[in-house]
Every structure is written in structure tokens, then in C-alpha cells.
Amino acid sequence: MELVLAIAIGALYAAGIYLILRRSIAKLIIGLALLSHGANLLIFTAAGLERGRPPLIPEGQTEAAMPIADPLPQALILTAIVIGFSVLAFALVLFLRAFQTVGGDDLDDMRTTDT
């Protein structure tokens, strides 16, 4: 299973970097989203894929009797999803404003607006 996820992570990173290097801002934003998803999968896979029970220890015990799931990677991924969503929302607002000003999404056209 880890091999399949490693291939998917590599494909997401490759597609994201390819799209970020394009001249269109719309493709740049899509590439940023793909990189964000690849990073989330990387954190999920690096934590180890194990089936386990919820990380709850019964009352009166000091340690779990059976394997439990690690909650830290799940919390990191949830935080990364929220931060990634806010970055993408900000990028979309910037794209909309730049599109209204320049009239296109080509980065070369935006360089000519500098004074």
C-alpha cells in the first residue's frame, strides 16, 4: 500500500511543480493545490499505515493493551488542510484582482504593469 501512495505522492508533486512553472496564474493555483495534496499524503504515509483502534486508554489503565492509531499525523494533516485552503483562497482573490486589472492571466502581461 505504501508503494501505491508513494507513486501517487510523486505524481502529485510532479504535476504540481509542472503546473507552477507554467505562465498562467490559473495553472499556478491548480499546481499549488496539487502540491498541498501531495504534502498531506506524504505526512499521512510517513506516519505509517497501520490499522488500529482509536487512541483511547480505558479508565484505570496506564497504557493501551492493543495497538492504537497515532493521532498526531491526523492533527498535522487537518492543520495542513486548513492552511492550504486559506492560501488557495487568498491566491484566488489575488488572481481575480489581477485578472480585472490586466485583463488576462499571462504572467508576462503582468510584468508590463510595473512602473
The pLDDT score that the predictor gives to residue 112 is 63
> Amino acid identity of 60?
G
Sole residue written with cell 502581461: 109
Q: Chunked in runs of 10, what are the mean pLDDT values of the chain (115 residues)?
A: 92 96 90 94 84 75 77 89 94 89 79 60
Q: Which one, of 49, 40, 51, lies nearest residue 9 by Cα?
A: 40
Domains of the chain: 2-51+69-111 (1.10.287.3510)
The pLDDT score that the predictor gives to residue 87 is 93
The pLDDT score that the predictor gives to residue 62 is 82
Residue 74 CB coordination number (10 Å): 14
**pTM score over 0.75:** yes
- Cα–Cα–Cα angle for 17, 26, 109, nearest 5°? 105
Give CA separation, 110 vs 22, 25, 27, 52, 70, in Å. 14, 10, 15, 52, 47
Give me the DSSP letters along the chain.
-HHHHHHHHHHHHHHHHHHHTSSBHHHHHHHHHHHHHHHHHHHHHHT-----B-S---TT-SS-SS-B--HHHHHHHHHHHHHHHHHHHHHHHHHHHHHHHHSS-BHHHHHTT--
